[in-house]
Structure 1
């Protein structure tokens, strides 16, 4: 039977990505699976602080080892906005609204450099471990592709001529910021 580990998220897309990355060694449960309906506040000033707030909440309230991530898009020309506010950049919690708000802010700006960043906090046996993944790319001027979520339709990773939203999950899972951070987490879990 695989080991159980809680991923502190309600995002089904993230859960699917991570389950695929950690199968068959780990059975990944999300917040719904453990009956956690709390909206865990992300009040930190960094991705690492927000990830740790979420993993700590689960460990303290459910007494089960947990990992959580905080991810976002950082745009060079906007002083790394939206950053930790990626999910609510437009003031609304909607992928399309956030993406359109960002594209509007980027109108007329030639520097399209951006990066996706994921920071994972794993709390295991009361010790907090941090893992980070970053992928660099450029912002498109219009969305393309219908896969993925968030800003995927406007993010073209360096070395590719397609957006994340044009890649299938297997291809994205090889190169994404979350995949890079997860690889570090997996390597850690397998070596301990």
Structure 2
């Protein structure tokens, strides 16, 4: 059995990742991370995921799993992108959502995608994969599940916002599910 550290201090992500990875990893164990937060100064989701996984691996000596994710809006040239969590400058989901709506006021094109880069760093290798969940930004929030931009995002092919999906429904199809599904396939090959 291998113990993996989840390289995040975000309690919502820890809960979501444990749901997504739990059964897929079988007997492997997932533990939380309480070490220092690195400066996420990469210019892509992949670079930031690797920064977090490297820091957790160095701090704990355990194989580290990390992600970097956000929403990329076509009409805003891909913004907020890697700055999604700090878009309004406050790290508040409500503030970020309000700023996104203000910046999209009157926009005809509301297409967007949730993006997740998932990384593993174990001291011998570094892996990173990307998952994308296309959709549109709604004109008003809807739903109470999830976090971040979930109340504003309606995935393609789904008639509700991602915040109106149950956690299990979201975790079956989201950008994180797609990225971590691809990563788990590689982890199984490496760790059994």
Please name the residue that 1:30 is paired with.
Answer: 32
TM-score, normalization by structure 1: 0.94
Contact residue 44 and residue 50 of structure 1 kept, 8 A: yes
Q: CA deviation at 1:105?
A: 0.5
Deviations 1:15-42 (A, max 9, x none): 111112222423211213xxx1x22210
Please say if 1:178 is aligned against 2:176: yes
Asked whether the equivalents of residues 137 and 152 of structure 2 are also in contact (C-alpha less than 8 Å), the reply is yes
SS at match of 1:71: strand
Check conservation: 2:3, 2:62, Cα contact below 8 A.
no
SS at match of 1:189: helix
1:125, distance to aligned residue in structure 2 (A): 4.2
2:56 aligned counterpart, secondary structure: helix
TM-superposed CA distance for 1:191, in Å, is 2.2
In structure 1, C-alpha distance between the alignment counterparts of 2:71 and 2:21, rounded to whole Å: 24
Could you list the structure 1 runs, at least 4 aligned residues long, displaced by more than 6 angstroms after superposition. Answer: none
Q: CA deviation at 1:96?
A: 0.7
Structure 1: any 5+ residue segments left out of the alignment? none
- Structure 2 partner of 1:17: 16
How many aligned residue pairs are there? 187
Q: What is the root-mean-square deviation of aligned Cα atoms in Å?
A: 1.1
Structure with the bigger RCO (C-alpha within 8 Å, sep 6+) is 2
Q: Tell me which of 132, 135, 143 is aligned to 2:133.
A: 135
Query: Which residue is 1:5 aligned to?
Result: 4
Q: Report the secondary structure of 2:14's partner residue.
A: helix
SS at match of 1:81: coil
Q: Distance in 1 between matches of 2:32 and 2:154?
A: 29
Per-residue CA distance 1:51-110 (angstroms, 9 max, x = gap): 111111112222111011100100000000000000000111101100100000000001
Work out the CA distance in 2 between the residues paired with 1:125 and 1:143: 42
User: Which runs of 5 or more residues in structure 2 are unaligned?
Assistant: none
TM, length-normalised to structure 2? 0.94
Contact kept, 8 Å, 2:37 with 2:52, in 1: the verdict is no
1:39 matched residue in structure 2: 37
